[in-house]
Amino acid sequence: MESILKNRPALAAEIEKVAEVAGYLWQKGWAERNGGNITINITDAVDEAIQMMPAISEAFPIGATLPNLKGCYFYCKGTNMRMRDLARRPMENGSIIRILEDCASYVIIADNPVKPTSELPSHLSVHNYLIGNGSPYKASLHTHPIELVAMSHNSKFLKKDVATKLLWSMIPETKAFCPRGLGIVPYTLPGSVKLADATIAELSEYDVVMWEKHGVFAVDCDIMQAFDQVDVLNKSALIYIAAKNMGFEPEGMSDEQMYEMSVAFNLPK
């Protein structure tokens, strides 16, 4: 069978970005075994021929009714699949799904009947929220960035905007490229509806959300941008840790320096 990506450069470009990011996640040690998830809303790249493609799976329930997703299409990492495999073969370790008319079930349409991530209900709930808000964001990423997760083991970093201010102050670029900062969700069972709801609540204020003692969830226009937001935050965490390892508490940029930089980069103050 021909890949759905053949002769569809726009769609292929999005999946190529997924593969590239999956490789980075593995190289950084953020994606052990099947850790992490990626889902992309590809509905804008769907043509009539794709709309006519028959299902290659039975209809599966999503586990939630998501009215904004009617007729939408998503690329989803497969359940139990490894990011390091997805990096080389994204269409063998993930699949494209169509949300059915009832907004509560989906079928797989390409390339292989790979069942989507166990976190599908939470990822799709986030996409439902983004569409409902008129957001341009199409990509959602869950990963386990080592240093950020380590920081979440100390309750002093979990108070609202404490980690955000500390991470922003480590290097000017972090606020420039993660201007909404890092939201916090207290420890919640992975894959639970409660975790999805708490994440969506934080996404009204932040693009990247820390799941205490687990990982982060990030959204952006495409998967590369979602990855970059997590990467700049984790870079700041690494600088903080490097200073601590040299035996001192880093000073951080001053409030005046942060303000000057926010004006210069046209960021929220």
Which of 140, 139, 19, 2 is closest to 82 using CA atoms? 19
Active-site option among 16, 32, 119, 202: 119
34 binds ligand 2HA (CB under 6 A): yes
Q: How far is the CB of 149 from ligand 2HA (least distance, A)?
A: 11
Site string for ligand 2HA, 166-195 (x = CB under 6 A): ------------------------x-----
Pick between residue 27 and residue 254 the one whose CB is nearest to Zn ion. 27
Binding to ligand 2HA in span 53-112, by CB under 6 A: none
Show Cβ contacts of residue 48 under 8 Å, excluding neighbours closer than 6 positions: none
Residue 120 sits in the site that holds ligand 2HA (CB under 6 A): no
User: Is residue 23 at the binding interface for ligand 2HA, with CB under 6 A as the rule?
Assistant: no
Who's near 91: CB < 8 A, 6+ residues apart? 3, 4, 5, 15, 110, 111, 112
Which window, 6-14, 31-39, 157-165, 236-244, contacts ligand 2HA (CB under 6 A)? 31-39
Q: Say how many residues make up the chain.
A: 269
For ligand 2HA, give the closer residue by CB, 36 or 183: 36
**Residues near 101 by beta carbon (within 8 Å), at least 6 away in sequence:** 70, 71
Instruction: Compute the distance between CA of residue 155 and CA of residue 200 in angstroms, rounded to an integer.
Output: 22
Q: How far is CA 50 from CA 6, 74, 203, in A?
A: 12, 12, 31
Task: Report if residue 117 touches ligand 2HA, rule: CB under 6 A.
Answer: yes
Determine if 215 is a binding residue for Zn ion (CB under 5 A).
yes
Q: Which of 14, 119, 207, 231 binds ligand 2HA (CB under 6 A)?
A: 119
- Using the minimum distance from each CB to ligand 2HA, give the nearer residue, 142 or 175: 142
For residues 143 and 25, the answer to whether their CB atoms sit within 8 Å is yes
119 in catalytic set:
yes
Residue 120 Cβ vs Zn ion, minimum distance, rounded to whole Å = 14
Tell me which residues are annotated as active site.
119
Where on the chain is the footprint of ligand 2HA (CB under 6 A)?
34-37, 117-119, 142, 190
